[in-house]
Chains A and B, each alone.
Chain A
Amino acid sequence: MSAAPIATTFLQSQSFIYVLYIVAFALFIQGLRGLAGPTTAVRGNRTAAVGMAIAVVATLLQRSEGNWGLIALGVALGTAVGVPAARQVKMTAMPQMVALFNGVGGGAVALISWVEFRHYGSSYGGHTYRVVSPFGPAGGLVHTVTYGAVPTYVAIFSVFAAIVGSISFWGSNIAFGKLQEVIPGRPITLGAGQQAVNLVLLVLALAAGVDLIAGAHSQLLFIGMLVVAALLGNAVVLPIGGADMPVVISMLNAFTGLSAAATGVALDNPALIVAGMIVGASGSILTNLMAVAMNRSIPAIVAGGFGGGGAVAGAEGAGEHAGTVRATSAADAAIQLAYANRVMIVPGYGMAVAQAQHAVRELTKELEKRGVEIGYAIHPVAGRMPGHMNVLLAEADVPYDQLEEMEEANQEFARTDVSLVIGANDVTNPAAKNTPSSPIYGMPILEVNESRSVIVIKRSMNPGFAGIENELYYEPETSMLFGDAKSAVSEITAELAQL
Chain B
Amino acid sequence: MPLASVLTTNLAILVLAGFIGFVVISKVPNTLHTPLMSGTNAIHGIVLLGGLVLLGLAGLNAFSKALLVIAVAFGTINIVGGFLVTDRMLEMFKSRPKPKDEPTAGVAEEHKGEGQ
Min Cβ gap A277→B in Å is: 4
Q: A151 CA to B2 CA in the complex, in Å?
A: 12
Q: Are A280's CB and B21's CB within 8 A?
A: yes
A75-B72 contact given A261-B17, A380-B30, A386-B34, CB 8 Å threshold: yes
Residues of B within 8 A of A318 (CB): none
Residues of A within 8 A of B90 (CB): 41-42, 45
- 16 A–B contacts from the bound complex (CB under 8 Å): A71-B72, A91-B88, A94-B38, A100-B81, A104-B75, A108-B72, A140-B53, A260-B50, A269-B50, A275-B44, A277-B18, A282-B24, A282-B36, A385-B33, A385-B37, A396-B108
- Kindly supply a per-residue 1/0 record for chain A positions 426-449, scoring 1 wherever the CB is within 8 Å of any chain B CB and 0 otherwise: 000000000000000000000000
Q: A59 CA to B112 CA in the complex, in Å?
A: 46
Residues of A within 8 A of B112 (CB): 358-359, 362
- Find B85's partner among A52, A97, A278 (CB 8 Å cutoff): A97
Min Cβ gap B39→A in Å is: 5
Q: Are A82's CB and B46's CB within 8 A?
A: no
Residues of A within 8 A of B25 (CB): 32, 36, 281-282, 285-286
Residues of A within 8 A of B41 (CB): 98, 101-102, 105, 253, 256, 279
Q: Are B74's CB and A286's CB within 8 A?
A: no
Min Cβ gap A102→B in Å is: 5
Q: Are B59's CB and A119's CB within 8 A?
A: yes
- Kindly supply a per-residue 1/0 record for chain A positions 82-100, scoring 1 wherever the CB is within 8 Å of any chain B CB and 0 otherwise: 1101110101001101101
Q: Are B83's CB and A49's CB within 8 A?
A: yes
Q: A158 CA to B46 CA in the complex, in Å?
A: 16
Residues of B within 8 A of A79 (CB): 76, 80
- Kindly supply a per-residue 1/0 record for chain A positions 36-57, scoring 1 wherever the CB is within 8 Å of any chain B CB and 0 otherwise: 1110011011101100100110
Min Cβ gap B109→A in Å is: 8
Q: Are B64's CB and A249's CB within 8 A?
A: no
Q: A261 CA to B93 CA in the complex, in Å?
A: 32
A74-B10 contact given A38-B31, A59-B53, A79-B80, CB 8 Å threshold: no
The residue on B at minimum CB distance from A90 is B115
| Those of A388-408 within 8 Å (CB) of chain B | 388, 390-391, 394-397, 399, 405
Of A129-137, A307-315, A475-483, the one touching chain B: A129-137
- Find B80's partner among A59, A78, A151 (CB 8 Å cutoff): A78
Q: Are A32's CB and B44's CB within 8 A?
A: no
Q: A89-B85, A102-B44 are in contact. List 15 more A-B contacts (CB 8 A).
A: A32-B25, A38-B93, A71-B55, A77-B69, A81-B81, A108-B72, A112-B68, A114-B67, A265-B11, A273-B14, A278-B24, A282-B24, A285-B25, A387-B35, A391-B35
Min Cβ gap B79→A in Å is: 6
Min Cβ gap A245→B in Å is: 12
A281-B46 contact given A108-B75, A273-B13, CB 8 Å threshold: no
- Kindly supply a per-residue 1/0 record for chain B positions 12-33, scoring 1 wherever the CB is within 8 Å of any chain A CB and 0 otherwise: 0110011111101111111111
Give the A interface residue count (CB, 8 A).
127
Residues of A within 8 A of B59 (CB): 119, 124-125, 127, 129
Min Cβ gap B105→A in Å is: 8
Residues of B within 8 A of A276 (CB): 17, 44, 46-47
Interface residues of B (CB under 8 A from A): 1, 3, 6-7, 10-11, 13-14, 17-22, 24-61, 63-65, 67-94, 96, 100, 104-105, 107-108, 111-112, 115
* Interface of chain B, main secondary structure: helix
| Those of A252-299 within 8 Å (CB) of chain B | 253, 256-257, 259-261, 263-265, 267-283, 285-286, 289-290, 293
Is residue A28 within 8 Å, beta carbon to beta carbon, of the partner chain? yes
Q: A52 CA to B78 CA in the complex, in Å?
A: 12
Q: Are A386's CB and B30's CB within 8 A?
A: yes
Q: A114 CA to B36 CA in the complex, in Å?
A: 30
Q: A89 CA to B82 CA in the complex, in Å?
A: 12
Residues of B within 8 A of A101 (CB): 38, 41-42, 45, 77-78, 81-82, 85
Q: Are A94's CB and B34's CB within 8 A?
A: yes
Is residue A35 within 8 Å, beta carbon to beta carbon, of the partner chain? yes
Residues of A within 8 A of B94 (CB): 42
Q: Are B56's CB and A67's CB within 8 A?
A: yes
The residue on A at minimum CB distance from B40 is A279
Q: Are B82's CB and A286's CB within 8 A?
A: no
Residues of B within 8 A of A380 (CB): 30
Q: Are A361's CB and B36's CB within 8 A?
A: no
Q: A55 CA to B79 CA in the complex, in Å?
A: 12
- Which of A77, A104, A275 has the most CB atoms of chain B within a 10 A radius of its CB? A104
Residues of B within 8 A of A387 (CB): 30-35
Q: A37 CA to B67 CA in the complex, in Å?
A: 39
Q: A289 CA to B27 CA in the complex, in Å?
A: 9
Min Cβ gap A192→B in Å is: 33
Q: Are B73's CB and A81's CB within 8 A?
A: yes
Min Cβ gap B13→A in Å is: 5
Is residue A186 within 8 Å, beta carbon to beta carbon, of the partner chain? no
Q: Are A281's CB and B89's CB within 8 A?
A: no
A282-B22 contact given A269-B53, A276-B44, CB 8 Å threshold: yes
Min Cβ gap B38→A in Å is: 5
Min Cβ gap A165→B in Å is: 8
Give 5 closest A-B pairs by Cβ, nearest first. A78-B76, A281-B21, A74-B72, A82-B81, A386-B33
